[in-house]
Each structure stands twice: as C-alpha cells, then as structure tokens.
A and B are shown apart, each in its own frame.
Chain A
C-alpha cells in the first residue's frame, strides 16, 4: 500500500509561537503563577524553574503597579485579592511594598540564573524583590588598591601632584 500525502500542516509544529504553556491548561497556569506570586510577596526571594520565574516576573511587577494606585482603589483591591491567596499579604503589599517602590518607575524584581537543580538538572532561577532585608546575591567589589596597575596609577598621581 502507498502512504498517503499529508495535505495539511501537522498540529505539532510550533514555529514562531512565543507564549509558554504551563500545567494542565490556562486556568492551571494562572493558579500556578498565582502561587508563585504569593510566595514572592511573602518571602521576597524565591527559587523556581527559570521559565516559571520569567513568566511570573511580569505578573508580579504589574501587581505592584496596581498596589501603587492605593488601598482605596477598587480595581487594585480586587487584583490583590485574586493574586494573593494568603490574605495577610494584601496588607503587606499595600503598606510595605507600595511604599518601598514608590520612587521606582518599574523594575521591582531581580532575576538571576543559578546552577541547575541537583535532582533533574532543571534550569533554575532566583527571583527577588529589590530592597529585601536579606544578604545580597552579588557583591560588587571595587578593585583593591594592592593590584599592580592600581599601585602604578597611584604612584603616577603622586608624581603629578609633586611636579605641580
């Protein structure tokens, strides 16, 4: 028997699709992202698979934008009520985080990749709210004075001062 020709594009090709799918469906995806946002607001620094953290970042930042509108705003309160499953965090969001991020325009979170998870080698990321009380993830060290180049530059500066 000869094989028949495929007359339509197979549904399994996903060229050019940019949006991610998570969980068992769209509602499951939103529930999972909601759990992650709640955890981020509670703990201010969480570790998660990179794709989930990336997806959650946008939702978390928009939630903070809504919180900046204020406690009395009906839409903001409804958003916070949906996105934060633990209701004591609504107080924290409006009283602590909205105040903390008042001077910032956007960019309230920092996301960095960490070494792969030990069990299944999944690509992991740590996502944190800026201004959290924990130790910083990266410390920028200024070059120490004792390197050769810095010693030479210091000597040059002193020579210039003596000549002047």
Chain B
C-alpha cells in the first residue's frame, strides 16, 4: 500500500482536485452504464479522505491555486537587448586572460611557463630515471630490499673513483648523456 502524502499545501490541493475529478468521472460513468468499461484515469492508492493538518484552513484561503498564480516562479520581465548582452559577455572578468609568463626553454627550445619545468626536458629525465630504476630493481632482486648504502650510476666505460668507494654501483649500458654530469 503506497500512501501519497505530501506536506506541501499546493500539491495536496492538486491531489484533492484530481481525486475530486476522478470521483466526478466515476459518477458520470456509473450513470451511463452499470459497470464502466474503462479503467480508472488515475490509479492512486490513497485514503478516501486526505488528512488535513491542524491550522491549515487559514493558509489554504490565502495561497492562490496553481494555474492562475503569477507570483510563484521567477521569470525575466523583458528581453535582454543585445547591447546589454554584449556588455555582460565581454566584461573583462569573463574573457580568457592572456598569459605573459611563457618563454622558450634554453636547452631544447620548446615553450615553457617561467615557473614550471620544461615538459620535454622533464620527460627526458623521467625516461632516464625509469631505466635507472629498472636496473636498481634487477640488482635488489625482490620487493622491500632497500639498500643501506648510497647509490651511484655509471655509464659505458666509466670506472668508480675512490670517492665512490662504499657505494652501490648501477650500470647503464649507454653513453653518458650530456645533461647528466658526473660529480
């Protein structure tokens, strides 16, 4: 059993009116023939008398009905002229700001923002660190084997100096790139 009970007075009035119309229609049907051939227009399971909350009769007199209310919904009064529309659409706070902090990277020549790293150079460094990390993973063997000594990366044909005595050596099988100095 589904009870359609709405607290809003207007919806309740609407339902009452629908129910009244339904009953009126049913009465007409009955006058024509004993058993109406068609089914009900609106099948709503609700109590025969919708309960009225206390102190409601005063309210229902003031509230205008749904169909002849002009105060209920906000609506524009006049058409906005194209001049007014243009003022709103072209107002500086709606336009996209011009960025003046774009420069060229001195290394690769791509565009970059002044306070941001160059995308190309960063991608280059990221690729190389990924390969170094693969080599480190091979050396460690499994997960959770972080070393307890420093690490140093050596490229083709480089020998570890005395300064890098106790460090873990990671070999990379390529020539040392120009942007990765040895120090």
Contact = CB atoms under 8 A, between A and B. Distances in A.
**Do A and B associate with each other?**
yes
Interface of A: 42-43, 45, 86-89, 91-92, 95-96, 100, 112-115, 126, 133-139, 141
Given A96-B149, A133-B153, A45 B122 contact: no
Nearest to B127: A135
B117 interface: yes
B177 interface: yes
A92 B150 contact: no
B116 A92 contact: no
B107 interface: yes
Contact of B117 (A91, A92, A114): A114
B170 A115 contact: no
A113 B115 contact: yes
10 contacts: A86-B146, A91-B146, A92-B146, A96-B148, A112-B116, A114-B116, A115-B117, A126-B117, A133-B150, A134-B132
A43 B177 CA distance: 22
B108 to A, nearest CB: 11
A88 B146 contact: yes
Closest 9 CB pairs of A and B: A135-B180, A133-B151, A115-B119, A92-B146, A95-B148, A134-B129, A88-B146, A113-B116, A88-B144
Most buried by B among A89, A134, A136: A134
Given A112-B117, A113-B116, A115-B116, A135 B146 contact: no
B128 A135 contact: yes
A92 B147 contact: yes
A139 B179 contact: yes
B89 interface: no
Contact of B180 (A96, A136, A138): A136
A135 B150 contact: no
Interface in B126-167: 128-129, 132-133, 144-153
Contacts of B149: 95-96
Given A115-B122, A139-B179, A42 B116 contact: no
B4 interface: no
A135 B125 CA distance: 6
A53 B62 CA distance: 60
A95 B107 CA distance: 37
Most buried by A among B117, B152, B179: B117
